[in-house]
Amino acid sequence: MQPIPEKTTRSHAGRPILTSVIVICIVILGYSELGLFRDLRLVNQAFPAIPSAFSTEMDMSIALSPVLLGYDAMRRGLSRWVKYPPATEPNSPLPTHDPISDQIQRARIEQGLFHPDDSMPLNGITDLRRPSVEALGRAIYLSQEKPAAAREFAQGNGTATPNQGFAQESRVDQLRQIFQLAYGPTALQEATQIAK
């Protein structure tokens, strides 16, 4: 009878440990992102008439928002480092931006709404473009999961100005207000009307 090589014995012993670590990481991630799943349910409550394809896209953009926002921050940091290496960085801080307003503005631009008074026409909701919906999803994620960003947005320091009572409104009303700022009141009416 031949002895079992030591190498294969070690690899089998490490599998349960690796599996346990992966399961623990998934559980921790799941608990930390419970608020995210709540946001996905809010989309259906806030926009009952939105087509399911766009609802799914918005849900996916909300779910991927932490990764995409982190990537955007890393990319901006890298381009700033290239422009101003640490030895030559200017003393004045960069201007602060309201990230929710920035995402709403990005959603408008991706949709082709360049002028502040531009609004989508009735039945225009079926023409929502994917990059625009993705930017709107990031704005929704920031408003619900990042209190500092929500406070900044409620103060109206960015390009999109919410109603004065934004911080006190229900979560569903906040989502609807962000949608209206991005696409206009007609699009909001279409997205929220329940078919009879």
Query: In a structure prediction context, what are the per-residue pLDDT tens digits for the chain, which is 196 residues long?
Result: 565 555 554 555 556 677 767 766 665 555 455 555 566 677 888 888 877 777 788 888 888 788 877 777 787 777 777 776 665 555 444 445 788 998 999 999 888 887 767 777 666 667 788 888 889 989 999 888 888 888 888 888 777 888 888 888 888 899 999 999 998 888 888 888 854 3
Alpha carbons 151 and 136: distance in angstroms, whole number: 18
CB 104 within 8 A of CB 98: no
DSSP 45-84: HH-TTS-HHHHHHHHHHHHHHHHHHHHHHHHHHHHHHHHS
pTM above 0.85, yes or no: no
